[in-house]
Each structure stands twice: as C-alpha cells, then as structure tokens.
Amino acid sequence: MQVIHSVDEMHRTSEKLRSEGRTIGLVPTMGSLHQGHLSLADLVKDRANTIILSIFINPTQFAPGEDLEKYPRDLDRDLNLCKDRKVDIVFVPESKNIYLEGHSTSVIEERFSSGFCGLSRPSHFQGVTTVCAKLFNICCPNIVVLGQKDAQQVLVLKQMIKDLNFPIEIIIGDIFREDDGLAMSSRNAYLTREQRKDALFLSQSLQEGKNLFENGIFEIERIEDKMRELINKGKLINLEYLKIVNRETFEPEKIAVQNQSLILLAARVGDVRLIDNQVL
Ligand code: AMP
C-alpha cells in the first residue's frame, strides 16, 4: 500500500494509472475510519483496479466554532485498517497544499445545499463540493464511492458531478450500524455513556418509521408524529429536523411511497451533532 502526502505526486500517479488504462475508485473520507468507511472501499473492489482512499479533514466544510480542532485523528490506526482492507493508495494531503495561499475559488451547488443540514451549517456544502472537485481533479477517479449515511451530501455531489461534467460514476454504500442500531460515525467518539444511550432513540425512531410504513401507515404526518414521540424520550436530544422527503428531490411528501420516500433526521445529543436516515 502506498501512502501519498504530496498533491503533485498524487496527481502524477493517478494520471499515470489512467494512461495505463486502469480504473480508479476513490473513497473520500475525513479519517478516524470505522467499518462504514471500509465497507465503501469493499464496494468498489470488483469494479476498480486501484482503490484510493483519501483522508483529509477539510477545514472549509467546518464553520467557525464547529469541531474542526477536536475532530478525531489517528493516522497510524487508519493506515493499518486500510492495509488490511487492501486499499492501494491512501492519499493524506496537508491542508496548506490543498488550499494554497490566496486560493479564491469555490464550487457552489445551489439546488440541494441550502435546506436541512444547510440551514444550521450554511457554508458546509460549499466546503464539501469545493474539496470534492479538487479531490476529483487530483485523483482522477472513474468511480467515487459515497455513503448513504450523508444522504444530502450524496444528492449535492451527484448534482455537482452532473452540472460540471465530471466523467465519474457514483456508487452509494448502505449505512453501516453498530449492533444496537446506532449509525457509525467518527463523531460517535464524542458521546458520553448517557448521550450514547439517548442517541439510540434516533435509530430506533427510524426503525419505528419503517415498521409503521410496512404495517400500512402511509400518512407522513402520522409516521413523523410517532417518531417524534419516541425521540422525545431522549432527554438529552435536541431534534434539529425530522422530515420524510422524496429521496431524489428532497421535497417533503404527504404520503410515503416504497423506495421513494426517505426519512431524514439531524439532532444534537448534548453538543454532539448526529445525522441519520432511512429509505422506506
Ligand atoms: P466522513 O469521514 O464522515 O466524511 O465520511 C466519509 C464517507 O463515509 C462518506 O461518504 C460518508 O457518507 C461515509 N460514511 C460515514 N459513515 C458511514 C456509515 N456508518 N456507513 C457507511 N458509510 C458511511
């Protein structure tokens, strides 16, 4: 496994691989890897000859006062996990080399970036689209693997890829969960025992929403109300949003439809912000 820190070296390497006809699969991450991240690398194994996993805690997607400084970092552990998972190249650039002094260009996706997570994090998706455009230019992937865990991010990046004519196919990986249902996230490491207990109401409410739907309850309001009731049991939870939307447009729905409706939620448990979702 190769570990590349230099942006130029990564660019030269990926261009060479492409000129040799190799198919590159890219898994962009911010590190502190868990099984969810690694499952994304597995998804592209059969489709790509070279798997690049990038580890970059992108400062432009954090607003001032968010958790950029304390975001968990453990590169040695991450590299060992990547080696075990047969990742070919780990790209670990430094911030000052991704954002050169005086950089003044951003990518803004305007249709899907402003609602939901964009309401409480107005600059977040601009940071995501900008860094992903850069990673795509540097790593030249044929395929990019993204997690359904960040459903809005998937929608925003799909739109950017289409709008900016990136010749890239997207593969979406399912949400990987802990045994008790909590969606895996690097931010789970922040949770105290009490907070983690309450956080379980989030995944349980999504399961409850799915159960109600499968038992013939299709009115969105009824499903959302029942879910809120359950979430309210978590005294440490401050729900930011809970909405059932069309998964392609993120427009609110009135009646849930199989494989089309998506339950989205974001909440703070104590001061830890968590997101999760469930396709019906
Ligand atoms: P992050 O390191 O949080 O930026 O995530 C990097 C990628 O891993 C994104 O595409 C996420 O959607 C994906 N991801 C994060 N958590 C999970 C999970 N629990 N299951 C599957 N994919 C995930």
pLDDT tens digits, one per residue of 4-13: 999 999 999 9
Pocket test for ligand 1, best of 34, 37, 168 (most atoms within 8 A of CB): 37
Q: Stretch 247-251: mean pLDDT, rounded?
A: 96
How confident is residue 45, by pLDDT bands cut at 50, 70 and 90? Answer: very high
Ligand 1 binding pocket includes 146 (Cβ within 6 Å): yes
When the pLDDT of each residue in the chain is averaged and rounded to a whole number, the result is 98
Residue whose CA is at the smallest distance from ligand 1 atom 5: 29
The C-alpha atoms of residue 249 and residue 120 are separated, in whole angstroms, by 20
How confident is residue 151, by pLDDT bands cut at 50, 70 and 90? Answer: very high
Residue whose CA is at the smallest distance from ligand 1 atom 9: 147
Ligand 1 binding pocket includes 273 (Cβ within 6 Å): no
- The pLDDT score that the predictor gives to residue 109 is 98
- The pLDDT score that the predictor gives to residue 42 is 97
- The pLDDT score that the predictor gives to residue 204 is 98
Tens of pLDDT, residues 52-67: 999 999 999 999 999 9
- The pLDDT score that the predictor gives to residue 43 is 97
High-pLDDT (> 90) share of the chain, % = 100
Tens of pLDDT, residues 70-87: 999 999 999 999 999 999
From the CA of 216, how far away is ligand 1's center (Å)?
A: 31
For the entire predicted model, the pTM comes to 0.97
Residue identified by tokens 């309450």 is 198
Ligand 1 binding pocket includes 152 (Cβ within 6 Å): no
Contacts 24+ apart (CB under 8 A), 133-137: 133/107, 133/160, 133/164, 133/166, 134/98, 135/26, 135/28, 135/54, 135/56, 135/91, 136/26, 136/166, 136/168, 137/11
34 catalytic residue (yes or no): no
From the CA of 176, how far away is ligand 1's center (Å)?
A: 9
- The pLDDT score that the predictor gives to residue 170 is 98
